[in-house]
């Protein structure tokens, strides 16, 4: 994994249906486990929960996504338990290698389920070259936004989603041996500082509950299907790489950079390049072969999206 990001790891009806999927309540022990099986792009996930209410909330978060009845690529379990240290009651989130998170508060559970799923992608989906990046597509053209946490990539993806772009992910660029990008359209995790931006963009946050996610503090979620079924992108060719960096009050600006500089920086933002070795380097070179590469300073979301669209349209045409 790249040193810069190692510490940060972040249609058909659903399997679980409720009378009021938007309902919010505290979680209690369920009489029997609930299972949610969802298809998120190329990844089939399964969540087993013995916490009543969590399935409702997760079903609400991913309303409109397809379910699956095959063996899941990745699976997470949520249950009541006790802290190893204080023996106090906790919500325990476990993955393929055992316990991953132990949290005390209800509002911490769902973000840590999402976090656990991300780590399971890193562990289990290593046939892909994995980059920490947002991915959007328009007219079949794929744009990757690689960035460390706090660079504004999720807000930028939300802004483009509101303008008709199609969403592949705000967390992973999954690149295959042919240099193609595959979708993992998990819900967009929005930090408190961008809540007003989502309102401005007309992208409703799924639940009235505000969650807590570690150092990120208060967060909420946007279902990318809120703009319609066409809001989710499909496998596409990488055409542009844009490294975003948000600066409060900045005038948005963009400049071209070399593929060599791009490849060096992508290596720092890959979860598994070191593990894949020469194979991974070949996958990256294949993906960058026809890519134009840029650095973007973002500010006001509308002005940033307009600049990005006009710049990329000029290059692509």
For residue range 172-194, list pLDDT tens digits in order: 999 999 989 999 999 999 999 99
- d(Cα 273, Cα 181) in Å, to the nearest integer? 16
Same domain, 311 and 237: yes
Look up the domain containing 164 and give its range: 129-316
**What is the structure's pLDDT at 316?**
53
Same domain, 146 and 58: no
Residue 83 lies in a domain: yes
**What is the structure's pLDDT at 25?**
44
For the chain, strand residue ranges (E) read: 28-40, 43-52, 74-82, 89-95, 98-103, 129-138, 141-146, 166-169, 172-175, 180-182, 188-191, 211-212, 218-222, 236-246, 253-257, 292-298
Residue 61 lies in a domain: yes
Q: Interhelix angle for 54-61 vs 109-124, to 10°?
A: 70
Task: Flag the least confident range among 1-15, 55-69, 240-254.
Answer: 1-15
Residue 37 lies in a domain: yes
- d(Cα 217, Cα 178) in Å, to the nearest integer? 38
* pTM score of the predicted model: 0.87
Same domain, 203 and 309: yes
pLDDT tens-place string over residues 94-107: 999 999 999 989 99
Same domain, 109 and 143: no
More confident residue, 168 or 178: 168
Q: Give how many domains the chain has, as a whole number.
A: 2
* Chain mean pLDDT for the chain: 87
With pLDDT > 90 as the criterion, what percentage of the chain qualifies? 70
CATH code for the domain of 135: 3.40.50
**For residues 144-172, average pLDDT:** 96
Cβ proximity of 98 and 55 under 8 Å: no
Residue 3 lies in a domain: no
Domain-ending residue, one of 90, 124, 158? 124
**What is the structure's pLDDT at 8?**
45
Task: Flag the least confident range among 4-8, 73-77, 78-82, 285-289.
Answer: 4-8
**Integer angstrom CA distances of residue 292 from 168, 181, 288:** 19, 15, 8
Residue 1 lies in a domain: no
Same domain, 67 and 169: no
Task: Flag the least confident range among 9-13, 78-82, 265-269, 272-276.
Answer: 9-13
Domain-ending residue, one of 65, 90, 124? 124
**For residues 23-52, average pLDDT:** 79
Residue 2 lies in a domain: no
| Cβ-based neighbours of 36, under 8 Å, separated by 6 or more | 14, 15, 16, 46, 47, 49, 55, 58, 59, 62, 67
Same domain, 217 and 197: yes
**For residues 80-93, average pLDDT:** 79
- Give SS3 for 89: strand
**What is the structure's pLDDT at 160?**
97
Alpha helices in 248-290 (DSSP H): 259-268, 273-288
Same domain, 99 and 133: no
């Amino acid at each position: 994994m790249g040193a810069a990001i190692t510490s940060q790891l972040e249609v058909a009806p659903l399997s679980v249906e409720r009378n009021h999927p938007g309902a919010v309540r505290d979680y209690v022990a369920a009489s029997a486990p609930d299972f949610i099986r969802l298809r998120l792009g190329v990844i089939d996930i399964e969540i087993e929960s013995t916490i009543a209410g969590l399935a409702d909330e997760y079903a609400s978060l991913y309303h409109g996504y397809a379910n699956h009845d095959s063996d899941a690529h990745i699976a997470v379990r949520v249950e009541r338990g006790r802290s190893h240290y204080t023996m106090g009651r906790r919500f325990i989130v476990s993955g393929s290698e055992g316990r991953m998170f132990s949290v005390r508060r209800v509002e911490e559970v769902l973000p840590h389920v999402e976090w656990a799923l991300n780590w399971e992608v890193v562990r289990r989906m290593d046939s892909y070259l994995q980059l920490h990046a947002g991915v959007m597509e328009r007219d079949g053209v794929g744009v990757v936004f690689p960035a460390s946490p706090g660079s504004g990539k999720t807000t930028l993806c939300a802004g483009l989603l509101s303008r008709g772009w199609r969403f592949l992910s705000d967390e992973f660029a999954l690149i295959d041996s042919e240099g193609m990008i595959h979708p993992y359209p998990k819900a967009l995790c929005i930090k408190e500082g961008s809540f007003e931006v989502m309102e401005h963009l007309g992208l409703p946050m799924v639940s009235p509950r505000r969650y807590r996610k570690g150092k990120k503090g208060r967060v909420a979620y946007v279902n990318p299907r809120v703009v319609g079924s066409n809001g989710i992108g499909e496998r596409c060719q990488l055409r542009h790489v844009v490294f975003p960096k948000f600066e409060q009050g900045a005038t948005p600006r963009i400049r071209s950079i070399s593929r060599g500089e791009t490849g060096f920086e992508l290596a720092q933002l890959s979860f598994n390049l070191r593990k894949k070795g020469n194979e991974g380097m070949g996958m990256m070179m294949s993906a960058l072969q026809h890519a134009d590469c840029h650095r973007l300073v973002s500010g006001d979301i509308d002005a940033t999206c307009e600049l990005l669209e006009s710049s990329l349209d000029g290059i692509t045409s």
